[in-house]
Structure 1
Amino acid sequence: MRPLAALDALAELALPRTCAGCGRSGVSLCRTCDIALDRPLLQDAAAVRPLPCPVGMPPTWSQVPYAGAPARALRVHKDAGRSDLAPRLARLLRAAVAGAVEHDPLVGDAVMAGAPVLVIPMPTRGTSVRARGGDPMLTLTRLACAGAVPLRLVSALRVSGRGRDQAGLSALERAVNVRNSMAVRGRWASVVEGATCVIADDIVTTGSSLTEAARALRQAGAGHVAAATVASTVRHTGR
C-alpha cells in the first residue's frame, strides 16, 4: 500500500467520516454545514421564553434555533461521541453567554464591577456520564469559558433525584419529572451564595430543567441567576 493511501486508511479509522450536520459520507463536516455552524456567530443571542413559561424560569439567551445542522451536531456530539464538534459548539455557547452578559442588566453589572460570573453547566446523571464516557455539557462549558476572565466555570450542581430521561415527555411531565431533582454541591455552597450565576445547557425546550437548576441555586443563596444555551426549540422573544 502506498504511504498516502495507508495514511488515508488510518484516518478513516481514527476520524469521523460522516458529516455531523447532514450525514454526508466522506467528510466530518461538509462546507454547507460548516457555514451553518459559523453564521450564527455573526448575530446576537436571542432571549427565549417557552409558552407556557414555568414559574421561576431564569432569563435565558440562546444562539441558534434547534433545527438543521446545529441540531444534528448537538445530537451526535452528545449521543454519538463526536467530541471533534466540541470546539465548534462551545463557540455558540460562548456567544450565548455573551448575550446574557450584554442584555441581562444584573449579569452585566457584575462584570462591570469586576465580580466573577459563575457559569454552571447543567448537571448530568452519573449513569449517563459513564455510558457516554464523559460529560459533554461540562466539556462545552469548559471550552466556552476558556480565556474569558469574568467567567468562572463551577460545576456547582448535582442531580439529587430519581427523575427519568426527559426525551419524549410533555411540558407538564418534564416539570414534574425534574422537580426537586437538583441541588448545589456542599463544597460550592459558599461560592454560590450571593453570586451572579449563568446556567449553561445545550438546548432549552420547555424550560423545566433550567427552572429546576435555578431553583436549586436560589435556594443556596445565589444573588442572581440567568441561563445560556446553544440552541432553543422555543420561540425567540427578541435580540
Structure 2
Amino acid sequence: MPLTALQEICDLALPRSCAGCGEQRVAFCTQCRAELEDAVTAEPFEATPTPCPPGFPVTWSQAPYDGAIAELLRAFKDSGRGDAGPHLARLLRSALAGLLEAEDSCRRELALGGQLLVVPMPSRSTSTRARGREPTVELGRRAVDRSRRLVLRRVLRVARSGRDQAGLSAHERSVNLRGAMRLTGTGRTLVPGRVCVVIDDIVTTGSSLVEARATLLAAGAIEVLAATVAATQRRGT
C-alpha cells in the first residue's frame, strides 16, 4: 500500500489533531471545516502578485493564503498530513473550473474536442526525498479525477536546485529560478501544440509560474495558464 494512502487511513482511524488549527483529538475541527466550506463555495478569482513579474501567466485561485487554508497547506506539504489532501483538492478543482469557464483559449480547445494538459509544478529532488512524496502531484490527481477534459502529466522537472526560496525577495526568487526548469522526456512529446495549465499550491511572487510558463512556451505550448489552491500578495522586491 502506498505511504500516502496508509497515512490517510491512520489519520482517519487515529486523528492526532486538527490539521487547520491544532485542536486535539479531531482530524478536522468544526471551525476549520466551516472555513474550508466557505472557501470552496466562494467564487474563484484571477490572482495577480504585487508586483507582478513580467511573463506571469493568467492564474486563477480559489482562496486567500490565510487562516485555516494556509495551515492546511503547510500541514499537507510539510507535516505529512495526507488527510488534508482531499479538502485542498476541492479548492484546486474549483480554481480549475473558474479558469476553464473564464478563459477563451480553454473554452475553444475543449469545444474542439481537445484536452487541456495539466502540469504539476515540479519540486526539487531534495524536497521530494525529504517528504517521500510530491504534494502538488497528489492534489492534481485528485482535482482532475475522472475528468475527460483534463489530463495530468509530469512534463516539467527541476534541472538545478538553486537556493531555498524561503526568505528570498521577489527579485531574488526570479533570479534563483531563471533557467531552473526543463522538460521531461514525456514533456517533449506532449507539450507542443497544447494548451497547458500549470497547477501549484499557492502563488506568492509568481516567479515559479513565470519560469514554468517560459519553459513550456519554449517547448511549443500554444498557451500556458495556471491554477492554484490559494494566493497571497507579496509587496516589495
- Rate the CA distance shift 1:65–1:12 in 2: closer, same or farther, 3 A: closer
Secondary structure of the corresponding residue to residue 19 of structure 2: coil
Match of 1:59 in 2: 58
The one-letter code sitting in structure 2 at the alignment partner of 1:119 is: V
Match of 1:135 in 2: 134
CA distance in structure 1 between the aligned counterparts of 2:188 and 2:120, rounded to whole angstroms: 15
Do structure 1's residue 94 and structure 2's residue 93 form an aligned pair?
yes
Match of 2:180 in 1: 181
Residues 158, 185 of structure 1: 8 Å contact kept: yes
Match of 1:109 in 2: 108
Match of 2:155 in 1: 156
Residues 16, 82 of structure 1: 8 Å contact kept: no
- Which deviates more, 87-96 or 32-41? 32-41
Secondary structure of the corresponding residue to residue 53 of structure 1: coil
CA distance in structure 2 between the aligned counterparts of 1:13 and 1:48, rounded to whole angstroms: 33
- 1:180-237 Cα offsets, whole Å, 9 max, x none, are 10011123212100101100000000000000000110010001100000000129xx
CA distance in structure 1 between the aligned counterparts of 2:47 and 2:188, rounded to whole angstroms: 28
- Which deviates more, 110-119 or 78-87? 110-119
The one-letter code sitting in structure 1 at the alignment partner of 2:44 is: A
CA distance in structure 2 between the aligned counterparts of 1:46 and 1:93, rounded to whole angstroms: 12
TM-score, normalized by length of structure 2? 0.91
CA distance in structure 2 between the aligned counterparts of 1:163 and 1:134, rounded to whole angstroms: 20
CA distance in structure 2 between the aligned counterparts of 1:122 and 1:12, rounded to whole angstroms: 26
CA distance in structure 1 between the aligned counterparts of 2:106 and 2:198, rounded to whole angstroms: 12
Do structure 1's residue 223 and structure 2's residue 222 form an aligned pair?
yes
Residues 60, 99 of structure 2: 8 Å contact kept: yes
TM-score, normalized by length of structure 1? 0.90
CA distance in structure 2 between the aligned counterparts of 1:105 and 1:13, rounded to whole angstroms: 41
- 1:148-181 Cα offsets, whole Å, 9 max, x none, are 1100001100001231221111111111111110
Match of 1:23 in 2: 22
Q: Once the 2 structures are TM-superposed, how far is the Cα of residue 43 of structure 1 from its aligned partner?
A: 2.4
Do structure 1's residue 124 and structure 2's residue 123 form an aligned pair?
yes
- Rate the CA distance shift 1:164–1:106 in 2: closer, same or farther, 3 A: same
Secondary structure of the corresponding residue to residue 213 of structure 1: helix
The one-letter code sitting in structure 1 at the alignment partner of 2:56 is: M
The one-letter code sitting in structure 2 at the alignment partner of 1:23 is: G
Residues 198, 227 of structure 1: 8 Å contact kept: yes
CA distance in structure 2 between the aligned counterparts of 1:195 and 1:54, rounded to whole angstroms: 24
Residues 199, 228 of structure 1: 8 Å contact kept: yes
The one-letter code sitting in structure 2 at the alignment partner of 1:49 is: T
Residues 64, 232 of structure 2: 8 Å contact kept: yes
Q: Once the 2 structures are TM-superposed, how far is the Cα of residue 12 of structure 1 from its aligned partner?
A: 8.3
Residues 12, 27 of structure 2: 8 Å contact kept: no
CA distance in structure 1 between the aligned counterparts of 2:119 and 2:12, rounded to whole angstroms: 35
Q: Once the 2 structures are TM-superposed, how far is the Cα of residue 16 of structure 1 from its aligned partner?
A: 3.3
Alignment RMSD (CA, Å): 1.5
Q: Which structure: larger Rg? A: 1
Match of 1:5 in 2: none
Q: Once the 2 structures are TM-superposed, how far is the Cα of residue 14 of structure 1 from its aligned partner?
A: 5.8
Name the count of aligned residue pairs.
Answer: 225
